[in-house]
């Protein structure tokens, strides 16, 4: 991590005395950015907290902005709290720095193809989420979408699920084998209009997935539902289930079914809330530990 930090500080140009030839350091440029995001004004205390700045350091930078005519102080409900907003001159200064930053960023990734850019965005988002960036969690709560699968998606689905189940339940290689068999059979025998898989993503990063497989007799099976740990609690799991059920209903299936495990409590709650009913239980040790497999069904017509 320290090696990455050394690389990134050089890559981002934060070691230079003047950020993007703006005449100010990176801390001041970042503070100007934060003020620009608060269109109706932002409190100095909020800025300090958001950036983790020392009060004296922040006050000196803000005083410098005020001296340049870049900011104006308003009046809040409390006389001691005076929200800060950019003036026309301040907005012009910010726009110039922002334009140079965008151009510099674009130039640094122009040699990457679309797939590499998606991989980069996904990796950066995951790093932020894993290291507890509150802004990453805030951003992830919106902006995600669901799309049909594309080439390469299901290999990643199998890989992510194998890793997640190993990390959370220790299910290991047997689960990985099963995931691989399911995705291979789905791709090999894919029936357009009767089967589909969906990927939930944000900025190219996979947040979850589900697929619907035709198992005969007008029954569709919901398979391989998962939501990444960093994206749980956002409604993605239920949205994937609803997508699957809606497709199955439109495709003319009379019933849906799924197989899950008794210890997957969050998934079971989602299935129940979507109208699925538990109809069968059977003990097994397919993944090493003793557990109970469950069969759930949902009547569609």
Q: The domain that contains 172 carries what CATH number?
A: 3.40.630.30
Q: How far is CA 76 from CA 51, 79, 81, 261, 270, in A?
A: 22, 6, 6, 55, 44
Per the CB < 8 A criterion, the answer to whether 270 and 169 are in contact is no
Domain end marker among 92, 111, 130: 111
Tell me, yes or no, whether 116 lies in a domain: no
Instruction: Give the burial class of 102: count Cβ atoms within 10 A of its Cβ; 0-12 exposed, 13-18 middle, 19 or more buried.
Output: exposed
Q: Report the pLDDT value the prediction gives residue 232, as an integer from 0 to 100.
A: 86
Which residues contact residue 94 at a Cβ distance below 8 angstroms, ignoring those fewer than 6 apart? Answer: 32, 33, 35, 36, 86
Which pLDDT band, with edges at 50, 70 and 90, does 39 fall under? low
Q: CB count, 10 Å around CB of 136? A: 18
Same domain, 106 and 157: no
Total domains present in the chain: 2
Give yes or no: residues 91 and 154 share one domain. no
Q: To the nearest whole percent, how much of the chain has pLDDT over 70?
A: 95
At residue 120 the predicted structure's pLDDT band, cuts being 50, 70 and 90, is confident
**167 and 265: one domain?**
yes
278 and 188 within one domain = yes
- pLDDT band, very low/low/confident/very high, at 77 (cuts 50, 70, 90): low
Q: What's the average model confidence in pLDDT over 156-166?
A: 93
Clarify whether residues 92 and 184 are in a common domain.
Answer: no
Domain boundary among 88, 111, 134: 111
Report if residue 129 sits inside a domain: no
Determine the structural domain holding residue 234 and report its residue range.
145-299
The pLDDT of residue 230: 81
- Tell me which of 166 and 127 has the higher pLDDT: 166
Q: Is residue 29 part of a domain?
A: yes
- Provide mean pLDDT across the span 210-236: 94
Indicate whether 156 and 250 sit together in one domain: yes
> When comparing pLDDT for 134 and 269, which is higher?
269
Would you state the pLDDT for residue 218? 96
Q: Tell me what pLDDT residue 124 has.
A: 81
Residue 119 lies in a domain: no
Go through 239-268 and write b for each residue having 16 or more CB atoms within 10 A of its CB, e for each that does not. Answer: bbbebbbebbeebebebbbbebbeebeebb
Same domain, 169 and 40: no
Residue 135, domain member (yes or no) = no
Query: Is residue 86 domain-shared with residue 222, that is, in the same domain?
Result: no
For the cut 60, the answer to whether the pLDDT of residue 141 exceeds it is no
Q: 236 lies in a domain?
A: yes
pLDDT of residue 137: 55
Which one-letter DSSP state was computed for residue 83?
A: -
Q: pLDDT value at position 138?
A: 55
State if pTM tops 0.85: no
How much is the pLDDT for 75?
Answer: 74
Query: Do 294 and 252 form a contact (C-beta atoms < 8 A)?
Result: no
User: 80 falls in which pLDDT band (50, 70, 90)?
Assistant: low
Average pLDDT, integer, range 268-291: 94
Clarify whether residues 293 and 247 are in a common domain: yes
Q: In terms of domains, do 188 and 51 share one?
A: no
158 and 208, same domain (yes or no): yes
pLDDT of 140 reads 54
> Residue 96 domain-assigned?
yes
Q: What is the distance between the alpha carbons of residues 240 and 201, in angstroms, rounded to a whole number?
A: 11
Q: Are residues 166 and 271 in the same domain?
A: yes
The CATH number for 76's domain is: 1.10.10.10
- Hey, is 86 helix, strand or coil? strand
Query: 225-235 burial by CB neighbour count: b if 16+ within 10 A, else e?
Result: bbbbebbeebe
Q: C-alpha distances in angstroms, 273 versus 168, 238, 241, 244, 266?
A: 24, 9, 10, 14, 11
**Residue 117 covered by a domain:** no
């Amino acid at each position: 991590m320290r090696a990455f930090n050394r690389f990134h500080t050089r890559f981002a140009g934060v070691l230079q005395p003047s950020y993007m030839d703006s005449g100010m350091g990176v801390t001041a440029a970042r503070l100007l950015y934060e003020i620009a995001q608060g269109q109706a004004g932002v409190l100095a205390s909020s800025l300090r907290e958001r950036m983790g700045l020392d009060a004296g350091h922040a006050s000196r930078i803000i005083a410098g902005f005020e001296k340049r005519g870049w900011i104006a102080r308003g009046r809040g409900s409390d006389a001691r709290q005076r929200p800060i907003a950019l003036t026309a001159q301040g907005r012009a200064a910010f726009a110039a720095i922002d334009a140079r930053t965008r151009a510099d960023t674009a130039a640094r990734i122009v040699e990457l193809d679309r797939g590499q850019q998606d991989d980069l965005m996904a990796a950066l988002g995951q790093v932020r989420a894993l290291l507890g960036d509150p802004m990453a969690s805030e951003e992830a709560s919106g902006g995600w979408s669901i799309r049909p699968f594309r080439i390469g998606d299901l290999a990643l689905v199998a890989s992510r699920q194998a890793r997640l189940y190993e990390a959370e339940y220790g299910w290991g290689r047997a689960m990985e084998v099963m995931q691989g068999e399911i995705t291979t059979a789905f791709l090999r025998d894919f029936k357009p209009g009767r089967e589909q898989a969906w990927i939930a993503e944000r900025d190219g990063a996979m947040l979850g997935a589900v697929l619907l497989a035709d198992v005969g007799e007008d029954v569709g099976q919901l398979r391989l539902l998962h939501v990444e740990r960093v994206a749980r609690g956002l409604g993605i799991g239920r949205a994937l289930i609803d997508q699957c059920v809606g497709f199955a209903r439109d495709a003319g299936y009379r019933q849906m079914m799924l197989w899950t495990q008794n210890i997957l409590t969050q998934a079971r709650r989602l299935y129940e809330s979507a109208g699925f009913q538990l109809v069968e239980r059977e003990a097994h040790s397919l993944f090493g530990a003793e557990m109970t497999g469950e069969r759930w069904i949902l009547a569609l017509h």
